[in-house]
């Protein structure tokens, strides 16, 4: 199947434009590490039906983040805050609560069924070539920054 280059580029730019926490000039790689962990989870067949469950991605995320930075950022932060970047959404069990600055991992596990990507992005990520391209772009851009 021929991929849609415009959609591919739209999401590549979205991935490279994620808002990141910066402390004393050091940028936190939690969001890019989470995105790669999810893409790798899709490739491994661990994430299906566009349902990214907190507990299913945690070990892969922690491992990926360790490759990138010494600071251990708990999964709860990028899992929750990536929603502000436009392509990541949270499926709440009930109506979403008033915005919380920083929810606990327990709060997320208790109140969110799963996170999910835009459907168009999910469809793109079913192709190995697309996954490799995104991982390479994200790694080159953030890890070597």
For 8-35, what is each residue's pLDDT tens digit? Answer: 999 999 999 999 888 888 889 999 999 9
Q: Is 55 exposed, middle or buried (0-12, 13-18, 19+ CB in 10 A)?
A: exposed
Q: What is the pTM of this model?
A: 0.93
Rounded to whole angstroms, how far apart are CA atoms 29 and 78?
9
Query: pLDDT for 109-118, tens place per residue?
Result: 889 999 999 9
> CA 69, 128, 4, 90 torsion: positive or negative?
negative
In eight-state DSSP terms, residue 143 is: I
Q: Which helix (H) or strand (E) holds 88?
A: strand 88-92
Going by pLDDT thresholds of 50, 70 and 90, the confidence category of residue 145 is: low
Average pLDDT over residues 38-53: 97
Q: What are phi and psi of 134, to 5 degrees?
A: -65, -45
DSSP, res 72: -
């Amino acid at each position: 199947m021929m991929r849609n280059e415009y959609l591919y580029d739209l999401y590549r730019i979205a991935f490279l434009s994620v808002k990141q926490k910066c402390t004393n000039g050091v940028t936190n790689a939690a969001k890019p590490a989470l995105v790669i962990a999810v893409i790798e989870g899709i490739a491994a067949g661990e994430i299906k039906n566009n349902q990214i469950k907190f507990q299913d991605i945690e070990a892969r995320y922690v491992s990926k983040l360790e490759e990138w930075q010494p600071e251990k950022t708990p999964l709860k932060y990028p899992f929750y805050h990536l929603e502000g970047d436009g392509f990541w959404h949270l499926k709440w069990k009930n109506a979403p609560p008033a915005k919380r600055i920083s929810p606990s991992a327990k709060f997320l596990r208790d109140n969110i069924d799963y996170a999910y990507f835009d459907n168009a992005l999910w469809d793109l990520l079913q192709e190995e070539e697309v996954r490799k391209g995104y991982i390479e772009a994200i790694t080159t851009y953030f890890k070597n920054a």
